Structure 1
Amino acid sequence: MAGGEPGEPNPEEFLYGEEDFVLQAAGWGGPDPAPSRFDRVLLAGWSDRMERGLFRYRLGPLPTRVLPGPVRLVAQLNEQRSAQRRPPQPVRSLRDPFDPGAFNFTRLRPAELLFRLRRTGGPGPPPEPLLVAINASPLERGHVLLLPEPARRLPQALAAPALRGALEAALLSAHPGFRVGFNGLGGGASVNHLHLHGLYLDRPLPLEEAPAEPLGPRLGLLRAGPAPAFLFFAPGPAELEPVSRAVCRAAEHLGGAGLACNVLATRGEPPAGPGAGGGRGLRVLLWARRPLFGPKAGEPFAVALCELAGLLPLPNEPLYRDITEAQALSAIRQHLLPEPELRLLGGELARLLGD
């Protein structure tokens, strides 16, 4: 690990090359995999900051249960996050500019920065370096922020160089549950300053292996889980750049149509599902949704990428104890598109990405 750039936040650099990618990560159900160098450095730094009191609360084991029902939603009780996290910034539109007067990641304390990810060597030109910082209001152990250079003051609009760097981070982990994701404006983003999330979730999700309906050569429609998503797939490192560009092109199309988006990348099976040939790679899911600006009265929980993927961090014990799958699905699906609109959008994206 080396030092950073003069005049900028100066965390250690985590230099990596193609040889550091974990191409055949362990699946679920076997012995716990040996952590990669990336996992060891990230989790050691994260735990150190927890011991030093740099988080808004001390995160211990979280009560967790699977809601009865076919979707198998995972509910977690995280009262501290609900009570102690920084209030989300008010958002007025999908294209709000960066506001230097609001909280942003140039204000992070130096100790909140863990390291800067920087690739050396191939395949292809390296992606944009990413700062890896603690999320001071964590959902899980190891929950971090992946930040393109904060001094550039980019708004929360998904950009291919940043997404590609985050996808490479996913391949650096040996843990099958390390996922990276993005919440857009109107889709649960709480800070209008470009950032992605990385976090370890210790449970498999149905969307990792369920087959998708093909919409085009590079696009599928995945109906597993609580919300249908457009599916992209990268079988290996060489495909990360075209997949990143395709996802961002699709997200830009959604924004032009007045829709918000969320993105999740996870290890998983090829789009046709297990047994269809081909090895595991990275599944990248893009959700299209009605934008929501500010809290909605009567909503039991906010809906962002975790909820769309089937993980429900819940703010209080009665809700955690009593919520049913039907109630949770109703809360999630009120933000989604009706089936005819989803079908129409899928056709538009297939044509867009087929050009």
Structure 2
Amino acid sequence: MTSSKGIALVDLDDDGVDHAFRADVLEGLTQEQKAIPARWFYDETGSQLFEEITQLPEYYPTRAETEILRARCAEFVALIAPGSAVVEFGSGSSVKTPILLDCIAPGAYVPLDISGDFLRASAKQLSAKFPGLPVYPVEADFMRQVALPDEVSGLPKVGFFPGSTIGNMVARTSVDLLRSMRETLGEGAKLLIGMDLIKDPQILEAAYDDAAGVTAKFNRNLVTRINRELDGDIPEDLLAHEARWVDEFARIEMHLVAQEDMSFEVSGRRFAMKRGESIHTENSHKFERRTSTTLLLAGGWTPIRRWLDTEERFSLILAEATIPRSAP
């Protein structure tokens, strides 16, 4: 039995715009270093563009993670309770999610995503591939605790957070997200999470600035969305995509850099940028074993198994919810 019924938990204002989107954009544009959280990339167009990015020759994470998923199926079966509800934080990839679902034979699949249209399309595709699998899409901001459908309340839970999306956040926000995931999934849950690894900066920069310009289009689509949904007039053609490795923070940063002085309006408020100033649109932190372990433990998860691809570019980690301990 399948279900395509979605549960909408996004808070919209009278104009039909997500309150959090408007607030994040307006606050971000007032900062000295203008910045907008990367989660707002993923409207329907942005989600489709990201799927294109995952197929690019420069973008190794999807291939590396897919290799791990295919190679370690027997271990997943041994470590994940049979009949578990797979709760995916972000709409399922057309490549990675079916591999996991086919491997562990779950009792249900619950994709969570803030982009409702892309979520429902993804859920429909997964339902067609797995006609006997109950699918319960939930439209929600998974940065906060989410109430899961009643239909999966009695099933063991395994969270799935592939693609190293955790790296898009600074450490404090990552820990908050991991804690909210723990609250969403509950006691006894497990989490299968992807984390990209530190490597040659040239490889990293190429992965976020591909020769075909798809990542640049993905980056500028954020401005297109702001102009469309928030009555903006940001001159998109005067903003250049830039990806840079910042070794001090072990991360790739994506920016939209002003090519000349400009002024613009968003939601009735005026802003200005000088030539060379940028809007910081994404961080993509890279990890090694100790930093990934520290992050998971701080978020309430204990790593129990870690896998790498054959070229040791990417890690996939299975963790279990840490039992809270009272203070001594």
Coarse TM-score class (shorter-chain normalised) = under 0.3
TM-score (norm 1): 0.24
TM-score (norm 2): 0.26
Bigger fraction of residues in helix: 2
